[in-house]
Chain A
């Protein structure tokens, strides 16, 4: 949770995922989508940033990683935490394959950075300006039909994409770990603002994703269990994915 300013407006911290780690330094990657991220984008080298974290339960590495294939699907800025996850998987001997989708090529700012890694990268754009023309989930499904199935599919992105990834994974009986988004107030489980509909051993409940998520198994998430922002609605203010990898 990043406090972008010591002033009362904007008031709340912004939930941002860890994008990379290098020794003592952390990297965050975010889209400039509103007032908060706008202020954050103006920060200069040497400035101090007030950060609480890592919070919640992010992506976790499976017990057996070595030699196994893992697919990581990122929609838009949802790619941010997957970069870190891919590195961790690779460091443990796993074989990450990245699916990176956006509306058009400018929505895929991490292309070059991803290409510098030795991962298999699959690109899609809605308008066909780069890679596969169409949704990243369609690309993922196509590849699934002709590849060795991965041990786990990890995904971070907008709700409709995550919902479809969950469905595809379920059809192929592959575990899915999906990082959800919500408007967050505090990040420490105190405000109860960031709930999503989750089923965990029993009845569905409104679960605080800052504390118990934001990453959940595909089969835990109830997509039509309550009003969630419609696909056409803009992202949460500050609207970055929160998906700290651990």
Chain B
């Protein structure tokens, strides 16, 4: 399968045979998640790329490996009151509250406008209850143009006192199982870093049938205004993202990739091609780029360029060959 993917990718690029990089050929950036082949390993992360359309004026969407659109609940959702953002050293704390347009508006107003795009569109699926997750998936199952779902198990659950499923291996297992049974498409499960043992949650998701895992979501954080002695976010807590979290993300992606057999997609503070390469080297099959999109709408495409430049410089013909090549000891 992997070879077939490369073959078609080469055909698309007009390359005939196995390219030797030093001969000036472009390295093959294609990666394979098993259920989905990507032209390159860089995916725009949910919640940082809008519904894709917002970035059309700034970037060629066909240069991305994939796009994960902003998390969808079943109904439109108002989100949290402002202030919703607080900048911190090399980071951003947000408490948007998953404001969104709901599945119906997404299918009727957004998806048609992404028609013709070759880049896989993935949908981040949210729910206040397990049943809502299933309802969102059920609704989206009938829509065209969706390559896979990313299950956002970090949504506050109204039946569990606001605790999100990601914090418990048991709840993760039962929710992923339900989602998998409902889904007609591959299911990526997005894990939260706010746990003591990421491997146990990762294994629970794998056992429940997840096709892949993605991590890390944001780290629970807060910031205080010392002038007013008030929290800088109306919601008091928010999620920290950006370069500040990359070392933690790397550690958790490494631990996860070492504990499961399904593909792992790494994210957390990736700003450059070299940041992305760190995640690939420790075993991530692909990466998601998030906060960098806010700073520079062209960030994800520039990261693809950075990975490509690294491969050329090192004489690596296929980026897939880098995955999981960390040398220890």
Contact = CB atoms under 8 A, between A and B. Distances in A.
The secondary-structure label for the interface of chain B is loop
B54 A205 contact: no
Nearest to B271: A8
Contact of B54 (A12, A188, A226): A188
Contact of B293 (A10, A190, A232, A237): A190
B interface, how many residues as a size bin?
35 or more
A206 B79 CA distance: 8
A190 B48 contact: yes
Contacts of B225: 233-234
B51 to A, nearest CB: 9
A109 interface: no
Given A192-B96, A195-B99, A183 B291 contact: no
A52 B296 CA distance: 9
Contact of A193 (B49, B84, B89): B84
Contacts of A189: 50, 54
Interface stretch (B115-123, B190-198, B210-218, B226-234): B226-234
B85 interface: yes
Contacts, number: 109
Contacts of B296: 3
B78 interface: yes
A120 to B, nearest CB: 36
B242 interface: yes
B154 interface: no
Interface string A184-200: 11101111111110000
A227 B50 contact: no
A196 B99 contact: no
A182 B234 CA distance: 13
Contacts of B30: none
Of the listed residues A12, A184, A193, A233, the one surrounded by the most CB atoms of chain B closer than 10 A to its CB is A193
A39 interface: no
- The list of the 7 closest CB pairs from A to B, nearest first, reads A186-B294, A193-B85, A226-B81, A8-B90, A8-B243, A190-B50, A227-B234
Interface string B77-109: 011011111110111101010010000000000
Contact of A195 (B70, B82, B291, B293): B82
Contacts of A33: none
A190 B293 CA distance: 8
B4 interface: no
B82 A227 contact: yes
A230 interface: yes
Interface of A: 3, 8-13, 52, 182-186, 188-196, 205-206, 226-230, 232-234, 236-237
Nearest to B226: A234
A233 B227 contact: yes
7 contacts: A11-B90, A11-B243, A11-B291, A13-B294, A186-B293, A188-B297, A226-B81
A232 B227 CA distance: 9
A8 B92 CA distance: 11
Contact of A12 (B50, B55, B87): B87
Interface string B30-69: 0000000000000000011110001100100000000000
B1 interface: no
Contacts of B55: 188, 190
B89 A9 contact: yes
Contact of B87 (A226, A227, A234, A237): A237
Contacts of B271: 8
B101 to A, nearest CB: 11
A207 to B, nearest CB: 10
Given A8-B242, A195-B99, A232-B228, A182 B82 contact: yes
